[in-house]
């Protein structure tokens, strides 16, 4: 293998790799060449009296950096038009190209006459991966410029690839808004999560449609970066058209179901269905409501899932129950006092037996705590909570009885926050000035999550604050399934028979057989939900919990 003087070799006119490898990777390569030399020859082509690098730019630079004068090199006989393919293949094998550089390699090969399929074969990429990368050609130049400057984020599947799905002008505006608002990291890299959130506002999944999507005339676009079968694989930005089609389909469904399905009202603040007076939420089978139950459904027009049909199973409350606590009018009081004979006092009925054991309630509290903590962090990472909303929840959490700070399952265990504090102060901060943290929202979300603890009602630390927060952020969606053998063992047989009847499951005679049949067959059954009574307006804060 010939040895060529390093000073006679020029770098490629245009390198496929726009984003260089990390300094750590370069240092490792230099250290290897310093001790073992260049084991694999580079590839060059003749250009007059000099040579041009085709493959091996990193090895050439490292050899020059450690002071070598010559380097082993193979001289290519191919034309310069093949340089892009050789560079791309060599780079992808040795130090994998970032997706944006892979896309540029495809574009260069297409500019030199390759078809998309030929470029894919040349680079060893699958057809699906190539079509994914081809979509990056839809990125706005401003977005591409930021990626070339800062590199791809850690989660391109959930950020950059999603951004590429929307029109370029939408991308540019979202990026400008994020930069203008100052949502950047220490190195001025944009907050790609916020850019993604702004780009995907109004993006509705075809999976949410209750109408015939193929006949509605609504255009759905495939997200080639989504996994096959993913909820958001096919989406539309025609929000108005989608909601109109949903409402028409829901009205037709309600007409067919008569009073079993009623159109409800949407609460944009609570992101939920508003029930009419005289109705209360209940748990049961949405497919087979009982005689005193009905389903209230509404098409969400705002919130986290616009266009999705929200359904609530509700039970009608008898008038006497609804007004049992209402004060009597003056006339009613006079009638009772002056003319009515006193009615015999009936003995107080025994309180109904709790269908769930103490261990079951403890399991529910633990599951709600875990769901709430995970949902808070996930909601912030998705950009679904504004900074002021997050700050509000954090202050609210600090007022909970569980916070001393000691928000762990054992009341004597302290909840450590030091690791979060250290993430706010870099090690080289010698001036004592706190810099703008890179991920302050995520750090605050982690702190908030650690403060929240759901306890059983008989626990001295039982508090409404975590329930309020869970209701505010829609944490019900994060609750796990409860149809496990372990939890069903904590539920009374009578309650399980009622649940089985509502679910349309024939209940065996023996309790053990009943639990075995229900295990894994109640995917929508939730014996709990987030929420607690609001504090009364005329009660002092310190009295609220004891009211």
Domains of the chain, with CATH numbers?
A: 1-134 (3.90.1530.30), 240-322 (no CATH), 358-479+528-544 (no CATH)
How remote is the C-alpha of 523 from its chain's centroid?
A: 21
Q: How confident is the model at residue 305 (pLDDT cuts 50, 70, 90)?
A: low
**The predicted structure's pLDDT at residue 404:** 62
CA distance 359 to 345: 37
Mean pLDDT of 430-443: 60
Residues 374-431 have pLDDT tens digits of: 888 888 887 788 888 888 888 888 777 666 654 444 444 455 566 666 566 555 544 4
Q: How confident is the model at residue 530 (pLDDT cuts 50, 70, 90)?
A: very high
Q: How confident is the model at residue 310 (pLDDT cuts 50, 70, 90)?
A: confident
Q: How confident is the model at residue 81 (pLDDT cuts 50, 70, 90)?
A: very low
Q: Of 355 and 415, which is predicted with more confidence?
A: 355
DSSP assignment of 473-509 equals: TTGGGG-----SHHHHTTB-HHHHHHHHHHTT-PPPS
Query: Within a 10 A sphere around the Cβ of 240, how many other Cβ atoms?
Result: 10
Residues 92-104 have pLDDT tens digits of: 444 455 677 777 7
List of E strands, 145-187: none
Q: How confident is the model at residue 322 (pLDDT cuts 50, 70, 90)?
A: very low
Q: Inform me whether the pLDDT recorded for 249 exceeds 90.
A: yes
**The predicted structure's pLDDT at residue 157:** 67
Smallest CA-to-CA distance from 194 within 239, 151, 162 is with 162
Q: Of 150 and 329, which is predicted with more confidence?
A: 150
Percent of the chain with pLDDT over 90: 7
Percent of the chain with pLDDT over 70: 70
Under a CB-based contact definition with an 8 Å cutoff, are residues 445 and 431 in contact?
no
Q: How confident is the model at residue 292 (pLDDT cuts 50, 70, 90)?
A: confident
CA distances 293 to 99, 251, 318, 523, Å, are 54, 19, 12, 20
To the nearest 10 degrees (0 to 180), the angle between helices 99-111 and 116-123 is: 130
Residues 156-202 have pLDDT tens digits of: 766 787 788 777 888 898 899 888 877 665 567 888 878 887 776 66
Q: Inform me whether the pLDDT recorded for 12 exceeds 80.
A: no
The kind and range of the H/E element at 398 are helix 387-398
Q: How confident is the model at residue 352 (pLDDT cuts 50, 70, 90)?
A: low
The region of weakest confidence among 228-232, 246-250, 349-353, 532-536 is 349-353
CA distance 543 to 547: 6
Query: Within a 10 A sphere around the Cβ of 352, how many other Cβ atoms?
Result: 6
**The predicted structure's pLDDT at residue 488:** 93
Q: Inform me whether the pLDDT recorded for 40 exceeds 80.
A: no
CA distance 539 to 464: 15
- What 3-state DSSP class applies to 190? strand
- What are the phi and psi torsion angles at 544 (to 5°)? -60, -45
**The predicted structure's pLDDT at residue 346:** 52
Residues 125-166 have pLDDT tens digits of: 777 777 777 777 778 889 888 887 887 776 676 678 778 877
Q: How confident is the model at residue 270 (pLDDT cuts 50, 70, 90)?
A: low
**The predicted structure's pLDDT at residue 61:** 87
**The predicted structure's pLDDT at residue 76:** 67
Q: Inform me whether the pLDDT recorded for 535 exceeds 60.
A: yes
**The predicted structure's pLDDT at residue 351:** 57
Q: How confident is the model at residue 330 (pLDDT cuts 50, 70, 90)?
A: very low
Which residues contact residue 345 at a Cβ distance below 8 angstroms, ignoring those fewer than 6 apart? Answer: none
Smallest CA-to-CA distance from 164 within 193, 133, 188, 125 is with 133
Mean pLDDT of 493-508: 87
Helices (H), 37-115: 57-65, 83-94, 99-111
CA distance 418 to 223: 41
Is residue 405 reached through a cis peptide bond, with omega within 30 degrees of 0 on the bond before it?
Answer: yes
Q: How confident is the model at residue 58 (pLDDT cuts 50, 70, 90)?
A: confident
Mean pLDDT of 524-544: 68
Residues 357-375 have pLDDT tens digits of: 988 998 999 899 989 988 8
**The predicted structure's pLDDT at residue 83:** 47
**The predicted structure's pLDDT at residue 144:** 84
Q: Inform me whether the pLDDT recorded for 248 exceeds 80.
A: yes
Q: Inform me whether the pLDDT recorded for 434 exceeds 70.
A: no
Radius of gyration of the chain from Cα atoms? 32
How remote is the C-alpha of 215 from its chain's centroid?
A: 31
This prediction has a pTM of 0.38
CA distances 291 to 275, 276, 314, 501, Å, are 17, 17, 11, 13
Mean pLDDT of the chain: 75
Q: Inform me whether the pLDDT recorded for 331 exceeds 60.
A: no
């Amino acid at each position: 293998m010939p040895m060529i003087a390093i000073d006679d070799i020029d770098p490629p006119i245009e390198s496929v790799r726009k984003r260089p490898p990390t300094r750590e990777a370069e240092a490792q390569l230099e250290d290897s060449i310093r001790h073992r030399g260049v084991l694999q020859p580079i590839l060059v082509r003749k250009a007059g009296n000099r040579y041009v690098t085709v493959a091996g730019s990193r090895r050439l630079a490292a050899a020059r950096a450690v002071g070598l004068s010559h380097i082993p090199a193979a001289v290519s006989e191919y034309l310069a038009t093949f340089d892009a393919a050789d560079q791309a293949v060599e780079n992808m094998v040795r130090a994998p190209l970032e997706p944006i550089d892979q896309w540029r390699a495809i574009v260069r090969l297409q500019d030199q006459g390759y078809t998309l399929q030929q470029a894919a074969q040349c680079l060893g990429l699958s057809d699906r991966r190539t079509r994914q990368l081809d979509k990056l050609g839809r990125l706005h130049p401003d977005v591409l410029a930021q990626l070339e400057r800062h590199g791809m984020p850690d989660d391109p599947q959930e950020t950059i690839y999603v951004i590429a799905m929307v029109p370029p002008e939408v991308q540019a505006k979202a990026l400008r808004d994020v930069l203008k608002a100052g949502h950047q990291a220490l190195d001025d890299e944009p907050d790609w999560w916020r850019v993604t959130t702004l780009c995907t506002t109004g993006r509705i999944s075809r999976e949410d449609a209750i109408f015939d999507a193929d006949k509605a005339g609504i255009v759905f676009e495939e997200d080639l970066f989504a996994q096959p079968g993913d909820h958001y694989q096919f989406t539309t930005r025609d929000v108005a058209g989608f909601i109109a089609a949903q409402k028409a389909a829901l009205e037709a469904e309600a007409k067919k179901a008569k009073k079993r399905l009623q159109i409800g009202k949407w609460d944009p603040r609570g992101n939920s269905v508003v029930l009419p007076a005289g109705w209360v939420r209940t748990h049961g089978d949405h497919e087979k409501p009982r005689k005193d139950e009905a389903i209230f459904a509404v098409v969400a027009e705002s919130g986290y899932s616009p266009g999705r049909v929200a359904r609530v199973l509700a039970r009608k409350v008898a008038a006497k129950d609804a007004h049992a606590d209402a004060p009597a009018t003056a006339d009613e009081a006079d009638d009772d006092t002056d003319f009515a004979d006193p009615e015999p006092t009936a003995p107080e009925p025994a309180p109904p037996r709790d269908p769930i054991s103490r261990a079951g309630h403890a399991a529910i509290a633990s599951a709600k705590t875990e769901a709430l903590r995970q949902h808070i962090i996930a909601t912030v990472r998705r950009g679904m909570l504004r900074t002021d909303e997050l700050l509000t929840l954090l202050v609210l959490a600090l007022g909970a009885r569980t916070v001393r700070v000691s928000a762990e399952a054992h009341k004597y265990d302290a909840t450590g926050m030091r690791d979060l504090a250290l993430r706010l102060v870099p090690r080289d901060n010698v001036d004592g000035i706190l810099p703008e943290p890179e991920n302050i929202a995520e750090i605050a979300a982690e702190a908030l999550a650690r403060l929240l603890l759901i306890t059983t009602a008989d626990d001295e630390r039982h508090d409404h604050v975590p329930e309020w927060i869970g209701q505010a952020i829609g944490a019900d969606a994060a609750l796990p399934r409860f149809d496990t053998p372990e939890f069903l063992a904590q539920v009374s047989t009578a309650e399980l028979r009622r649940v089985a009847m509502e679910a349309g499951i024939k209940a065996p005679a023996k309790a053990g057989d009943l639990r075995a049949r229900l295990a894994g067959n109640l995917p929508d059954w939730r014996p709990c939900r987030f929420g607690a009574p609001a504090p009364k307006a005329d009660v002092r804060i310190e009295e609220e919990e004891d009211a």
